[in-house]
Structures are given as structure tokens and as C-alpha cells.
Amino acid sequence: MKMNTLESPLSRFQLPKLAAVALGGLLLVGCAGNPPNEQFAVTESAVRSAVSAGGTEFAAVEMRAAQEKWKQAELEMQKENYDKARKLAEQAEWDARVAERKAQAAKAQKAVEEAEQGIQDLREESMRGTR
């Protein structure tokens, strides 16, 4: 005896496709919706390192940009705008890295100038001693 079954609106071939599309959408939303905790840790470390290197003194503009972007990233994180927070944190990290390198270069330049001055002082003193 053959039963008459009604064909469902979703055929057995359409249902797996629909499920795959739905799962893919959930995965994309899941990735975009994750807080950028790792990036925040990296950025915080970069900002602290730049401050320790003298970024505030020797690279004030870059340091200020890093700190402002860092604050904006934290605000976006609180609003759960994770993509924007991640982008701002990345920008803050790179601004901080530039500030750190600039501070290191300025300190090295200052050390070179002090060494050159010391050499000049020694030359002058040795010239006075020979007269």
C-alpha cells in the first residue's frame, strides 16, 4: 500500500544548503562579535613600553595619538563595537611603537652628542697641558 505523502516546501536537497548557509552566517557573526582581548593586551603592552622608553618626552605627538586611540578603543569595547575597537587598538599599537622607536633614536642621538662633547673637552684639556 502506497501512502500519499505531500512534498514539503523544502526538498531534501535544499535543506542541507540552507543549513550550510545558516551555519556560515553564524560563524561570520561569531568572529565579528568576539572582543579583541588579545589585541588589547598587545596594545596595552606597546603603550606602556613606549612610555617607559620616553615616548612622552621624545615623541609627544605619536604618544598622544596612541593614547587617544587607545582611549577610543576602550570606549568602543564598552559599546561592544568590537571591529572598531580592534582597528583603533591596532592603530594605537603602531603609534606607540613609532613613539618608542623615535624615543630610542632621540636618546641614542643625545648619547652620541654627549660622547662627542666629552671627546672635545678631552682634546681641549690635553692641548692646555702641552702648552
Report how far apart, in Å, the C-alpha atoms of 86 and of each of 27, 28, 69, 73 are.
18, 16, 11, 7
Spatial distance between the Cα atoms of 102 and 99, rounded to a whole number of angstroms: 5
What gap in Å lies between CA 104 and CA 21, rounded to an integer?
A: 51
Cell numbers linked to 125: 684639556
Report the predicted TM-score, pTM, of the whole model to 2 decimal places: 0.67
Q: What is the pLDDT along the chain (131 residues), one digit of tens a residue?
A: 555 555 555 555 565 565 555 555 544 444 458 999 999 999 999 999 999 999 999 999 999 999 999 999 999 999 999 999 999 999 999 999 999 999 999 999 999 999 999 999 999 988 887 66
For domain 36-104, give the fold: Substrate Binding Domain Of Dnak; Chain:A; Domain 2 (1.20.1270)
Task: Give dist(CA 78, CA 50) in Å, integer.
Answer: 25
CA–CA distance, 10 with 21 (Å, rounded to integer): 14
Domains of the chain by residue range = 36-104
**Cα–Cα distance, 59 to 50 (Å, whole number):** 9
